[in-house]
Every structure is written in structure tokens, then in C-alpha cells.
Structure 1
Amino acid sequence: MRVNLFTGYCPTEMYGLSRYDRNIIENLSYEKNVVCIKSRFYLPIDIIRYSLVRYPKAEINHITNQTFGSILGRIKGKKVITVHDLAVLDLENEFSYLKKKFYENIVSRFKYADRIIASSKFTKEKIKEILGIEDEKIDVVYLGVENKFFSNPKNFEQKDKYQLIYVGSEKLHKNFIEVLKTMKILKEYGKFKLIKIGKAQSNNRKMHVEYVSKNNLDVEFIEYADDSELIKLYRESDVFITMSDYEGFCFPPLEAAACGIPLVLKKSPTLEEIYGKVGYMVNGPQEAANAILDLISSKSRYNQSASKANEYAKQFTWKKCVRDVENIYEEIV
């Protein structure tokens, strides 16, 4: 079987979706042709430009990022698209009217796909609810984590200062302000530092920096860390935290678990679906602070939580993810 992979893979910056693209490319066992797309298809000229290109004949055409869905109606053969989330359409006040309209045009082409891959059950339900696509056409395939992230679970040590880590953007639905509010509460109980890794959204970054300054919090903002630096920072940290309200899958908790540290996570749909069995699931900053204090007050509790998360992460392999994708190819050919 031959597969055309339409991907936005960028090897220089390994954010979540690039990880998915890279591992599909590297682990797919079939003969493949990679079509690297540099545009987000927000302009009609982009749709026309990529539609006119002659691609090698293939049994399967897999668009690995929903953003490129505009070409679904213009390529021949069996078509598969991976959809990570529908945040642009589902979150009312976060994205501009123009971006929503562009996105509506993109998702209107999903009907041309022979199969849709959703990265979580939550995303599958949103595809059904928002786009009206039938259940039988959508498969849930969980993503994976690279072997290099794995290490032995961290063994608890009492410290003068504990380090938390958050990896992600500062978009409103990521709710980073609640992480900072958690830090403010923890400040009353001892010394804590937060490492924040991820791109800034200019207006939100200003708000967050002002909050950090006003409350004299110890927060280090890092725009980007390559894998070696990211792994190092995970392993140096004591607890991973995110208070995100909306996710398609959310890689960072899985990476942190593989690196052997406990998880404190917002009780939101996808985070509960994927990490609810191994993370401290919380509602709001006070519960998050209580969970962190609970972890660092007991060596046995901390070590048990770190070990449980680390063991759980082992079931999320890229080989399994890609094998599940290949099974979908085989079903529709």
C-alpha cells in the first residue's frame, strides 16, 4: 500500500502537532510520500495552489492536521484526516470572527473524508456534535510519547524550594492564570518556583507578567525548549501542573509522567479522560495548591504518584498509535 501524507511537520520546533506528524512519518510501515505543507490554507489561493499539484498515485491520502482540510474535496483516492480539536469553533469568545469563518470553510470539507481520526473521545463527540458527522466514520486513536522521555520515577527529596513545571501556550482556554493563582497560594506555605515553557500570546503574556510582578512570584518564562532541554527541565521539576479547560489530547502531562514526576491537572473533559486515573484532578487554584502540598508532605505518597504516572505512560507508544492508524487504512482500502 502507498500513502500520501499531507503534513505541516516542522523539524526545527517540536510542538505537539509536529510530534504527531513526525512519528506518523517515521513509524508508518507502508511506502509513503510526504507532502510538506507550509501554509495554513486560510487563503483561497493556497487551496488552489495545493490542489493543482500532481501527487503520486496512492491508495490512501492522509491529512495529518485538520488545518489542511480544505484540500479534502480536491484530492483523489481514499482520504483520512486527523482532527485534534475543534477549539476554534467550540470556544465562543477566544477566536476572532474572521478566523472562525475561515475555519468553518475548512471543516465543511471534512464530509469528503472516508475516515476521521480523533485524538480523544472528547474530540470525537465534538466532531459529532458540531459537524454532525456520523459516529461510524470517526475513530479515536490516542497519541504517544517518545522513548527518550522515559526515566525512573522521581524519588522524593525534601527541599528548601520546590519546582513546578507548566508546558503550553498562554491562550485563554489554557487557563494559565489559574496556575499563577496556585503559585500565589503556595507562596504562603514555602518557597516554590514555576518553569513555564511555551509561546506567548502578547496580550495574555502582559497580563500574566503583571500578575507575577504584583504578587512577587518566582516564575521563569521560556519561549521554546528543544527535546533535550525539555526533558532536563521535566526531570529537574517536582510536579507538573496544568489548569487547562479545553484540550484535544494534551501531550505535556504524558511527557512529564514519562519523565517520572507527579501530575496535578484541571478536572476538564480530556484531561480526565486520559489522565484521570493517575493525576491529581482538581477544580481551581486552592485544590491545586492543596494537591501539591499533599504530595510534598509525604514521601510515600509522592513516590507512589510518580511511579503510577510513569507506569501509565508506558502504554502510550507511537508504534501502537501508528499501528491503529494503519488498521484504519486497511479497513477502507
Structure 2
Amino acid sequence: MRIGINTLFLVPSDVGGTEVYLRETLKAMAALASGDTLVVFTNRENDDLLRADLAAFPQVEFHQLPCQAATRPLRILVEQCLLPFTARNVRVDVLWSPGYTAPAVCFSPQAVTVCDLQYKSYPEDMGWLERTALDVLVQIACRCCQAVLTISEFSRQEVIRYDFAKAAKVHATLLGVSNDFAQNWPEDQAENILRRLGVHRPFLLCVAHSYPHKNIDKLIEAFALLQGEIPHQLVLVGKGRRGEEAVRKSLLKITQPERVLRLQGLSEQELRTLYQAAEMFVLPSTYEGFGLPVIEALQVGLPVVTVQAASLPEVGGKAAFYVPEPEPKLLAEKISEVLRLPQQELRRLAEQGQKWASTFTWVRTAAQTLQVLRSIAKPQS
């Protein structure tokens, strides 16, 4: 089977968890589908990156299309008009679009991944025009494709609830976490990375862009309530988004602003070092299609505090600690409660979290994706 993969949406280091999902699933899929050919349609920004990722797999072929994903109108035009004919010319049996949108007309069966419908629940995260255009394109994709993939059961129910697709063609394919994510760097190397980043132990870690629903401002306010009781630094990793004004106001409540460190554009090694060196991971988000940072934190044995909302209980299971809503006082109380746990209990929880995280694998994600794609592929002539 010739499996087409539409990666035109991907701007490296810009789309967060969706990039991790695509790249890790592709690598696992290439390893599993040894008898198939993966036909990857790339853009000018991601072609080199994906070629490097998949260099070890001879059954992968690449076709770079003339667009840059950062120029969204052109990317959509190429996806709608040029991609279907290119896919037909190279004879794909099925086309998978992992980034929410897909061609309205295609000469082969299609599947699309809708990671979440965040813009429906949190319209303030986007401008009106961007939100309206995305809504139209996602609805078209869900109706034109023979299968819709989601990354959690929560997201699957969202697609069904908003009537984007009937239940029978919506499939949940949960994400994974790499086994080597918890691989420790040599201590001197880790210390050098922390020093270069300006990180001081002990510290609390949060990995999230500052969209309003991520509630970074409320985490900062919770830290303001705790700063006189704990010696920790608060390390926030993520880009500034539409919640920046609230974040700026919350930072004014910190009496020792040097104890809040904001970082972005980190390398994979730097990010992993932060996970491994942190004392706790906190994600106060109220909407996640999956919540990949939660499973990454559990994989390295961190206690996780998050919110009983959206997909987060599905991903954190019994291994995470939850607050009913991300109010600063509730967050502060839960963080303080976990920090006071005996070391023996923390070690037990770390083992429990790592065992739970080990059930989330990219091999499973890839296998489930391949199963769906094979079920809708046109018969080979």
C-alpha cells in the first residue's frame, strides 16, 4: 500500500504537541509498515527536518510542494488545489492529513486528524477571521474524509458532540511518549544546561504556551501565594500567546520576580533536562486534546498537578493529582500538599506514574493509525 501523508501544516518548532505527534507517529509508522511505502508531502520549512527523521527508512519517499506553512492562505491553496493532483500522480492508495484540514476533493480515500476543537470552547484564543476559516476547513475535512482520527476519547466525543462527523467514522488513537524521554544526561552536563538557562533547584515546571485556557496567570498567582513558604523557582516554558496580558498582571503579584523564569525555543535536550531536574510538574489547563506534557512528566517520575477537565483525567489516570478548577488558592493548596508528602510516598508515586506512562507508546499510536488507514484504502490494482 502507498500511504500518503500530508505534512503541509507543519512549521517546525511552532505547532507544539502536534509536531511531536506527527514526527513520532511517522517514525513508528515507518518501522511498522515495512511492506508499504510512506509518501510524505512536505513544505519548504519542514522538508529537511522530516527527511532527517526518516532517513533510516528506504520505503519512505518525499515530495516537496511549493509552499510555506507560515503563509497560511498559500498553504491552504496548495493543500486544496495542488496536493490532490500530486497525490493522484504518485498513486497513493490513501491520504492521511494529521493537521486538522484536508483537501475537499481527492482521488483517493482520506483520513484527517482533529486533535481537539479548542476554538469552539475557547473562541478568544483566535481572531474572528482565523477562527471562522478554521471552523469551515475542519468541518469540510471531517465530512469529506472517510475516517476522522482524534488523540483522545475526549476529543472523539467533541467531534461527535459538535456534529462534525458520525460516531462510526471517528477513531481515538491516543498519543505516546518515547522510552528514552527519561534517559538521564550526565549530572555535570545537566547542571551546565540548567546554569545556562538560569534555572535553580528546586523548581516547579510548567510547559504550555500562554493561551487563555492554559491559565498560566492563575499558576503564577498560586505561586505568589506560596512564595513565602517554599524555596522553589517557577519555570514556565512556552511562547507568548493571547493570554499574555493576564500573565503580565499576575507577575506583578510576585514579590521576588526573579523566582519566575520564562523560557522558549528550547532544544529537546534542554527540555528533557528540565523535566528530569524539576521537583513537580503543574499544568493548570482546562482544555487539552491530549495533554502530552502530563504523560512526559509522569514518564520521568515527576508528581503532576493538573485540572480535572477535558482529556487530562484520561491521560493522567490515577497517577496525577487534580484540582476541580484552576483557581490560585486550590492550585496553591494542592502544590503544597504534594510537596509535603514523605519521600517514600513520592518514590511510590513516581513508580506508579512511570508504569502508567509506559502504556502510552508511539508504536500503539502508529499501529492504530495504520489500521484505520488500511480499512479505508482503495483496493490496489
Could you tell me which residue of structure 1 aligns to residue 240 of structure 2?
A: 200
Q: Any idea what SS the aligned residue of 2:319 has?
A: coil
Matched, 1:329 2:373: yes
Aligned counterpart in structure 2 of residue 62 of structure 1, from 72, 79, 96: 96
Match of 1:155 in 2: none
Match of 1:229 among 261, 270, 286: 270
**CA displacement, residues 62-96 of structure 1 (integer Å, 9 cap, x when unaligned):** 00110x33x1x222111011110111223243322
Distance (Å, rounded) in 1 between the aligned partners of 2:348 and 2:209: 29
Aligned to 1:118: 150
Query: Counterpart in 2 of 1:279?
Result: 320
Equivalent position of 1:185 in the other structure: 225
Question: Letter of the aligned partner of 1:311 in structure 2?
Answer: K
Cα distance between partner residues in 2 of 1:172 and 1:13: 18
Measure how far apart 1:41 and its partner are.
8.1
Q: 1-side partners of 2:225 and 2:123: how far apart?
A: 30
Q: Normalized against structure 2, the TM-score is what?
A: 0.79
Query: Unaligned regions of 5+ residues in structure 2, if any?
Result: 44-67, 185-199
1:305 aligns with 2:345: no
For residues 190 and 219 of structure 1, the distance between their equivalents in structure 2, rounded to whole angstroms, comes to: 13
Cα distance in 2 for partners of 1:282, 1:139 equals 29
Q: Distance in 2 between matches of 1:243 and 1:88?
A: 18
Residue number in structure 2 paired with 1:36: 42
Q: 1:104 to 1:295 in 2, by over 3 A?
A: closer
In the alignment, what sits opposite 1:157? none
Deviation at 1:177, TM superposition (A): 1.2
Moved more, 30-39 or 307-316: 30-39
Letter matched to residue 130 of structure 2: K
Measure the CA separation in 1 of the matches of 2:333 and 2:366: 39
Counterpart residue type for residue 219 of structure 2 = V
Over residues 273-328 of structure 1, what are the superposed CA-to-partner deviations in whole Å (9 max), with x where a residue is unaligned? 22131100113333322222222222122222222111111111111110111111
> How many residues matched?
321
Residue 74 of structure 1 is matched in structure 2 by: 105
1:42, CA displacement in angstroms? 4.8
The equivalences for 1:211-230 within 5 A come to: 211-216=250-255, 217=257, 218-230=259-271
- Unaligned stretches of 5+ in structure 1? 153-159
Query: How has the CA–CA distance of structure 1 residues 12 and 287 changed in structure 2, closer, same or farther, with 3 Å as cutoff?
Result: closer
Instruction: Report the 3-state secondary structure (helix = DSSP H, G, I; strand = E; otherwise coil) of the residue aligned with 1:277.
Output: helix
Partner of 2:288: 247
Cα distance in 2 for residues equivalent to 1:149 and 1:14:
20
Q: CA RMSD, aligned part only?
A: 2.2
Question: Is residue 198–residue 223 contact of structure 1 (8 Å, CA) maintained in 2?
Answer: yes
Q: Does the 8 Å CA contact 1:169/1:198 hold for their aligned counterparts?
A: yes
Q: TM-score, normalised by structure 1?
A: 0.89
Q: Is this contact kept in 2: 1:264–1:280, CA < 8 A?
A: yes
Aligned to 2:194: none
Question: Amino acid of the residue matched to residue 118 of structure 2?
Answer: A
| 1:144–1:161 CA distance, 2 compared to 1 (3 A) | closer
Distance, in Å, in 1 between the alignment partners of 2:116 and 2:13 is 23
